[in-house]
Amino acid sequence: MPAETARRLRVAYVAADSLTWDGAGARSMRALEWLRARHDVSLVPSPEYKPVPAASGGRASALGREGTRAIRARLQPAYLRQERVAVDELIRLGQSFDWIWLAQWPLSWSVTVVPSWRSRGVFVSWDEDALSRSRWTSAKALAIRRPIRSATRLIAAGTAMTAERRHLSTMSLVVARSPVDATWLRRVQRAPVATLANTVDLRLFQGLKSASDAQPVALFVGSDYEPNVDGIEWFLRTVWTRVQTRRPEARLLIVGNRMERFAGRWSRESVEVVGHVPDVRPYFEASRIVVCPVFYGGGSPLKLLEAAAAARPVVTTRYCARAVEDRKHAMDVPTSRAAWADAILKYLDDPAVSRTAGEHLRAAVATTHDVLRWEWQMAAIESSALEGASSTP
């Protein structure tokens, strides 16, 4: 980990006030933990945040809820209000902090609030998915199957691009969630862009059984996020039926937050919809292969990094492979339905091949998404904040 900085900044981390290590929240929790070790951090609830009942669960990160409670206890977050934070209170944040990190933030507030902060010497960083790219990729992916929805998404992409061009340009730094997002954001707005890709701690997956020890089981991990639902429905309709015809004993597990609500539609003899689980590692261990038929979205899919950490071969789309920087082509990226079935059966039919491919993928991800690389990316962002924030008391 980079050496501790000599100057501690007062940092406001604006995000959902019920952050956990579940799913997408893991990114914010990891950043909060890193920042808290080096600076004076307060967690500020996002103006448009609407709490989700805890009972709804989420796709648990490997650290689980015990790690969540521990970091929350250490952070002792200072909530400015229990309800939505008003504009005048947001503007006053500039009097109390040197660095404001926007992890969940309505872009429409930026023109009103961010220039006021920056006029006081506050460094403002924005860290969310590139919405315009998400809309654009969905328009492309849905063009043939759902042309009306595709046209709607194309219009939405243009609207989002206009908003990002206007509002993100007010930031001191835009933090992209993947190199592909970074390239996109540099094209649509004027603020400097840094990359902070998702990471996975390989140590948390040590000790799992090899893919060759698992039964012929395929695994899909993902919440009820629209790209996941669209992808798995396409997969069940066009690919899994082919797999079943050639390998009747093969099984598919679907794990993820709120996916259980689709059990009535997807469940069958060869498909089990598990839904939310407290720990995904036992499901990786029970599977010989991970499938990710997701064609659009934003950021970099954490589920693929976890699959790699578990040394499981992955069959996925070109979109996902690009998002996780699969430079060594360690993932299978089929280009037709028949090729999808062939790739899956290659691993289900041969335990040794699945073990070798999983180990190769783990080694590849260790060089592109390890924790040390993430920490150096955070250190580069911190350096920009130290340089850009005024040293006012």
Average pLDDT by stretches of 10, the chain with 393 residues: 72 77 75 93 73 35 44 44 57 88 83 90 92 92 90 93 92 92 92 92 92 96 93 96 96 95 94 94 96 88 92 95 78 95 96 95 89 93 91 43
The Cα–Cα gap between 175 and 32 comes to: 15
3-state secondary structure of 363: helix
3-state secondary structure of 358: helix
pLDDT at 52: 37
Is the Cα dihedral 198, 201, 202, 207 positive or negative? negative
pLDDT at 65: 44
pLDDT at 86: 58
Cβ 362 vs Cβ 308: under 8 Å: yes
CB proximity list for 148: less than 8 A, separation 6 or greater: none
- The structure tokens listed for 261 are 């609500």
- The structure tokens listed for 58 are 């989420």
Q: Is the pTM of this model over 0.85?
A: no
Q: What is the pLDDT of residues 54-99, one digit of tens each?
A: 333 333 334 444 444 444 444 444 433 433 445 677 788 888 899 9
> For residue 41, how far is the Cα from the chain centroid?
23
Which CATH class name applies to 202-368?
Answer: alpha beta
pLDDT at 81: 40
Cβ 374 vs Cβ 197: under 8 Å: yes
- The structure tokens listed for 278 are 């407290």
3-state secondary structure of 243: helix
Architecture of domain 10-199+371-388: 3-Layer(aba) Sandwich (3.40)
pLDDT at 3: 59
Stretch(es) of the chain classified as CATH 3.40.50.2000: 10-199+371-388, 202-368
